[in-house]
Amino acid sequence: MLKFSRLLAQVISFAVFGVALAYFSNSPSYTYHDAEMALIMVSFSHSSERKEECRRFTPEEIAATAANMRRPMDCKRERVPVYIEVMLDGENLLSKSYNPTGLSKDGASSIYERITVKPGQHHLLVKLRDSGREEGFDYESDTTINIKAKELFVIDFRKELGGFYFKRDE
C-alpha cells in the first residue's frame, strides 16, 4: 500500500476510536426518572413488636434451669412483619409486608419504596401495622401535599416522634 494511504488509514482508525470514546462516554442518555413526574419515597426502618408476649417462667421451669442461666421472664425474640399501606387521593399505591431482618428475625424491618406520582396537590394517607393484630392499624397519618415534577417527598417513620413523619427539603 502507498505510504500516504497507510497514513490516512491510520488517522481514520484513530479517529474512529476517538469518536467512539467521545460518543459513548456520555450518550445515549438514560432516563432514570420521568421529568414530568414527582416521586414519593417510603424509607425508614422500624422494629415491630415481638411475635409472642413475654411470659413468666413457672417455678418448676426456673428450678430446672442452671443457676447462672435463671431469668424471671421468657421472651421470644422474633418480631412480626411491618405492614404498610399508602393511599393517594383514595387510590392504593402500596400495601406490603416487610419481614424483620436478622437470622432470628429480631431486627428492624427495612422499608425502601419508590412511588412515582403525578405532580400537583394530593391527599396522602399512610397506615402502618407493627403488632400481632389481624385487622386495623397501629399508626395512621394523613396530610395534603403539593408536589412538583421531579420533586421528592419522603415518608419517614419515627416511633419516638409519634409515628409517621413527612419531610421535604425546601
Partner 1 sequence: MLALKKILRIGFEHVEDWFDIVFGAKWNPFYQLGALGWFYYWIVVVSGFYLYIFFDTGVTQAYQSLEYLTHEQWYAGGLMRSLHRYASDALVVMMMVHLLREFAMDRFRSPRWFAWFTGAPMLWLVFAAGISGYWMVWDQLAQYIAITTAEFLDALPIFGESIARNFLTDAKLSGRFFTLMVFMHIALPLFLLFVMWIHIQRHATPKVNPPKELAIATLSMLLILSFMKPALSQAPADLSIVPTTVNLDWFYMPIYPVMNNVSGLTVWILLIGATLLLMLVPWMPPGKRAAVAVVHLDNCNGCSRCAADCPFSAIDMEPRSDGSAYKLEAVVDASNCVSCGICVGSCPTATPFRTKSELSPGIELPDDKIKELREKTIAASSNLTGDDRVIVYGCQDSLDPAKLAEAKVGIVTMPCIGMLPPSFIDFVLSKKLADGVFLTGCRDGDCDFRLGIRWTDDRLAGERDPRIRKRVNQDRIGKYWAGMTRRKEFFKELTAFRLRLNKLESSQAEDKIKTNDSSEKIDA
Footprint of partner 1 (CB under 8 A): 1, 6, 9-10, 13-15, 17-18, 20-22, 24-27, 29-35, 38-39, 41, 43-45, 101, 110, 112, 150-152, 154, 167-170
Please, which residue, 30 or 71, has the CB nearer to partner 1?
Answer: 30
- Smallest distance from the beta carbon of 68 to partner 1, in angstroms? 30
Q: How far apart are CA 126 and CA 164, in angstroms?
A: 8
Please, which residue, 112 or 123, has the CB nearer to partner 1?
Answer: 112
- Smallest distance from the beta carbon of 14 to partner 1, in angstroms? 4
Please, which residue, 14 or 61, has the CB nearer to partner 1?
Answer: 14
Please, which residue, 6 or 55, has the CB nearer to partner 1?
Answer: 6
For residue 126, the number of C-alpha atoms closer than 13 Å in the C-beta half-sphere is 19
Are 2 and 54 within 8 A, CB to CB?
no
Cell numbers that stand for 78 in this block: 422474633
Task: Please measure the distance between the N-terminal and C-terminal CA atoms of the chain and give it in whole angstroms.
Answer: 67
Determine the 3-state secondary structure of 142 from DSSP.
Answer: strand
For residue 167, the number of C-alpha atoms closer than 13 Å in the C-beta half-sphere is 9
- Smallest distance from the beta carbon of 148 to partner 1, in angstroms? 9
Beta bridge partners of 43: 112
Determine the 3-state secondary structure of 108 from DSSP.
Answer: coil
Please, which residue, 128 or 147, has the CB nearer to partner 1?
Answer: 147
- Smallest distance from the beta carbon of 110 to partner 1, in angstroms? 6
- Smallest distance from the beta carbon of 60 to partner 1, in angstroms? 39
